Structure 1
Amino acid sequence: MRQIFNILKLSCLLMVFAFSAAAHPPLDKPTSLKQAIAATFLVQTNDLEQRLLGSGFLFGATRIVMTNDHVVGAERTVRLVASDGRTAIAKVISRDRLRDIAILQVMSDTFDTVRPIQVAKTAPELGQVIFAIGAPYGADFSLSRGIVSALGRQIEANVPVRMIQHDAAVNPGSSGGPLVDAKGQLIGMNSQIADGFRSFIGIAYAIPAGNLVRVRDAMHTTTQPPMQTLGLRVRPVSPRIGAALEMGPASGILVDHVMAGGIAEAAGVQAGDIMVSLGNQPLTVPGDLAFALEHVAIQDVVDLKVLRGKRIKTLSVQVSQKPDLKAAPEARLPLETLDYSMSDIGLQLSSDGRILSVTQNSLAHFEGLSAGDQIIAINSQDLAKNGALLADFRIQQPALVLVALSDGSTRHFVLDPWRKPGRLRPVSGANVLDEEIVIF
């Protein structure tokens, strides 16, 4: 009887061990992460101060080290420190400021015996266990563990990169460090944390390894030329904007402002246009524009289709020209509003739509409208062509107004009397395109 009990007890223990092993799978090789750490460096200033700038890692042949552009900043040379204490000087040979990637060339044979980090052979999967290596807050060669939280996050509208979101702890000093799998193979390069906070809150972003390889191969010997910009500011066509314009199911991006001297102005783009496609690349969210521009970068002239009023117009955009942008200061973000008519929401207007005053703590005030601004269109109807529109206008459904701001730019505001007030939401460059992960 005791023998049977011992056998059952042993079986239970084996089942517990098996479950534990399944929940926490062992690394393929005990030394794999050690090898990744050996190929990771602290990046310091090349002076007597030796101030920590961030992290970097050996990536490919010919003594190439990858890091973030924001890590090296204005430095032309940096000091690299390995986990075994060896140091070497590296020269910044190429930078891609838009994608936040910099390439360094080690100037000696100090690290020639170090094995570069290899790219993972399979793409990362949702829920995959990953490891971040770097120097958070100067804590040398720290390793943190997490999982892939999401794939394909485009966190800045003008950057054609879809990032890996993960929850391995990273902090200032981790930037430029590698994100690796359990084999120590490269998944990406840690670049940002969510919402611009200085401390990790569970959301981090890494530039995928595939992007690093493409950029490295393209800019190995020279700085990547800046990506072309059209010289405009856009926003999504939300259901409220679509309803105001009677568009039905919304598709496209709304032009808020066209900058003087830009490519868009030369092509005839106007504030209020709905951009539908660029060079046969559909535009459904603001971030699509960056990928479309990247796709047509080697072309000279491409077609831009816009919805103006109720008609589709095709404009010729000369993407090869050099714009001479006369940038206006960035206007503040609009806030939510609530009321019934122009006068009731706190606006005193002249006959041509200029805002004479805004009542303090009124809904127009909370919306962000200011004295000196001028309403120039309501629901795409130009006030200059319809002077009686403003005098008789009352908000009976969400209305879209185009306003000329005092700084010279134009911007759309949605006036919605039925939306509950007080839902002011902080928005940052780290997650402005991912509204579901905005930090409240």
Structure 2
Amino acid sequence: MAVLLAMLGAMMLTGAGAASAADRPVQAPAITAASLPNFAALVKRYGAAVVNISVTREVAQMGIQLPPGIAPDNPLAPFLARRVIGNREEVSLGSGFIVGADGIILTNRHVVADAAAVDVKLTDKREFRGRVIGSDPVSDVAVIRIDARNLPTVVTGDPARTEVGDWVMAIGSPYGFANTVTQGIVSAKSRALPGERAIPFIQTDVPINPGNSGGPLFDLNGRVIAINSMIYSKTGGYQGLAFAIPIDIALDVKDQLLQTGKVTRGRLGVALQEVSQALARSFGLRHSDGALITMVEPGGPGAQAGLQAGDVVLAIDGKTVADSADLLGTVAGMRPGRVADLLVWRAGRASHLQATVGAFDSGDAPGGEAQGLARFGLALRPANEQERRQLGVSQGLVIEQASGAAARAGLRAGDVVLSVNGAPVANAGALVGEIERARGTAALLVQRGGTRLYVAVEPG
């Protein structure tokens, strides 16, 4: 065995000596600690602007109710039982980050959707009741405000400057473990996902788990380039595929929600599909870039511009269209009324069409009657004439159901709300508006039987 090994070694040495310098493999540069990114400095500088979000929801559940004195094992129980619908509280966790020193926070819409209460905890252990200013289902972005000032904030960057392969870092609360730091690289850009084609996601391999949603994705300069939103997983946990919403889209949503209470996007009014290699050849195209129009909305912006089914949009305002998601995202980012120049391939020829971008409203601002009442846990109706006469009032709202924040405050079904912070309330919208304006604890004057009392309610 020793002889064999020696001979093998000699043969290897001889072969190596005979090889030319050009044939020798190039040695990869050694990786040293100095060449790796220093995430610790970024965490120290910007970690305090990341928050932990706890959301309480009222979840309906069906149960069985038995008459008093009837035990569940009573033979008559199955015949005497009746189904009842009640509510139970469910708590979920998410992440967010402060973008305004006056208490403005960005997170995901799915983190705070249908919330009865939103509680925000800072790294210095302070806790605040959050108020959802608005949210956008298309981008999955939501804006929260807390009643605080001089807060630490993140610095935002330009996602367009981020390259595939760049190092990135996430801070969030996976499974409730607040301010957990993970890192990875950008795996892909402008990734289109099923049902989410208007958003060009940034794909990373950063370990993201439930609870990370809504947290920031940082570049190596400490600038937030995206909001961590979702993962692709067959187990429910991290499997190497994470997707984040570019921060420029999120900031645009935030600005629109704060200014107008809604989010308006551009639209062309066309249905699109991808251009396969086979379709490209059939259309006489050299490449499969572009977006193929399959349907044009009658009277819509595309129809008015002269677009037709079968057209392939190759470029918009001089920018090459890679695929249908690229065109959707570009148009969505345009303001309605803007005139866009479309390079269109039709019948073997390219031509330019001018399209005036239409409007599509997708965002919403809580505070509307239905959403506000659901958040406070109230079901109301105006008092009828007989009830008003019996109470000796000109207006009032009868509580038909109280749950969540309303029930915790002590409100009951049958109570009649007469005023909020001294302001009479004639309808549900007025009540919600007065509670919202309180920006703290609201005092509701309530008639209960023959007694009037005040009940303190905190906006959820």
Who is 1:207 aligned against?
Answer: 245
Of structures 1 and 2, the larger Rg is shown by 2
SS at match of 2:264: coil
Who is 2:214 aligned against?
Answer: 176
Asked whether the equivalents of residues 263 and 321 of structure 1 are also in contact (C-alpha less than 8 Å), the reply is: no
Q: Report matched runs for 1:52-131 at 5 Å.
A: 52-75=92-115, 78-106=118-146, 108-109=147-148, 112=149, 114-119=151-156, 123-131=161-169
Matched, 1:43 2:80: no
SS at match of 2:156: coil
Q: CA deviation at 1:166?
A: 1.9
CA distance in 1: counterparts of 2:284 and 2:157, whole angstroms: 48
Asked whether the equivalents of residues 263 and 319 of structure 1 are also in contact (C-alpha less than 8 Å), the reply is: yes
SS at match of 1:116: coil
1:216-275 deviation digits (Å, cap 9, x = unpaired): 444433334232333332222222112233444445322233456754455554432323
1:265-296 deviation digits (Å, cap 9, x = unpaired): 55554432323344555434212312442465
CA distance in 2: counterparts of 1:299 and 1:313, whole angstroms: 22
Asked whether the equivalents of residues 110 and 140 of structure 2 are also in contact (C-alpha less than 8 Å), the reply is: yes
SS at match of 2:178: coil
With normalisation by structure 1, the TM-score equals: 0.57
CA distance in 1: counterparts of 2:129 and 2:152, whole angstroms: 18
Closer, same or farther in 2 for the Cα pair 1:295/1:33, shift >3 Å? closer
Q: CA deviation at 1:196?
A: 8.1
CA distance in 2: counterparts of 1:113 and 1:294, whole angstroms: 34
Match of 1:164 among 182, 197, 202: 202
Who is 2:224 aligned against?
Answer: 186
Who is 1:409 aligned against?
Answer: none
1:406-433 deviation digits (Å, cap 9, x = unpaired): xxxxxxxxxxxxxxxxxxxxxxxxxxxx
Q: CA deviation at 1:87?
A: 1.8
Q: Report matched runs for 1:265-304 at 5 Å.
A: 265=303, 267=305, 269-278=307-316, 281-294=319-332, 296-299=334-337, 302=340, 304=342
Matched, 1:140 2:150: no
State the one-letter code of the partner of 1:63. G
Closer, same or farther in 2 for the Cα pair 1:283/1:25, shift >3 Å? closer
Closer, same or farther in 2 for the Cα pair 1:292/1:59, shift >3 Å? closer
Who is 2:258 aligned against?
Answer: 220
Q: CA deviation at 1:190?
A: 0.7
Q: Report matched runs for 1:353-364 at 5 Å.
A: none
CA distance in 2: counterparts of 1:251 and 1:24, whole angstroms: 37
Closer, same or farther in 2 for the Cα pair 1:28/1:229, shift >3 Å? same
**Cα RMSD, aligned residues only:** 3.7
State the one-letter code of the partner of 1:45. V
SS at match of 1:287: helix
State the one-letter code of the partner of 1:118. V
Q: CA deviation at 1:174?
A: 0.9
Asked whether the equivalents of residues 279 and 302 of structure 1 are also in contact (C-alpha less than 8 Å), the reply is: yes
Asked whether the equivalents of residues 232 and 255 of structure 1 are also in contact (C-alpha less than 8 Å), the reply is: yes
State the one-letter code of the partner of 1:80. V
CA distance in 1: counterparts of 2:222 and 2:340, whole angstroms: 43
- Between stretches 90-99 and 275-284, larger displacement belongs to 275-284
CA distance in 2: counterparts of 1:282 and 1:136, whole angstroms: 39
Asked whether the equivalents of residues 94 and 222 of structure 1 are also in contact (C-alpha less than 8 Å), the reply is: no
Who is 1:236 aligned against?
Answer: 274
CA distance in 2: counterparts of 1:246 and 1:179, whole angstroms: 42
Greater helix share, structure number: 2
CA distance in 1: counterparts of 2:243 and 2:57, whole angstroms: 30
| Structure 1: gaps of 5 or more residues | 1-17, 324-440
Between Structure 1 and Structure 2, how many residues are aligned?
Answer: 301
State the one-letter code of the partner of 1:22. A
Q: Report matched runs for 1:418-433 at 5 Å.
A: none
SS at match of 1:221: helix
Match of 1:256 among 271, 291, 294: 294
State the one-letter code of the partner of 2:294. D
Asked whether the equivalents of residues 42 and 52 of structure 1 are also in contact (C-alpha less than 8 Å), the reply is: no
CA distance in 2: counterparts of 1:228 and 1:286, whole angstroms: 15
Percent of matched pairs sharing the same residue: 31
CA distance in 1: counterparts of 2:38 and 2:320, whole angstroms: 45
Which ranges of 4 or more aligned residues in structure 1 deviate by more than 6 Å?
A: none
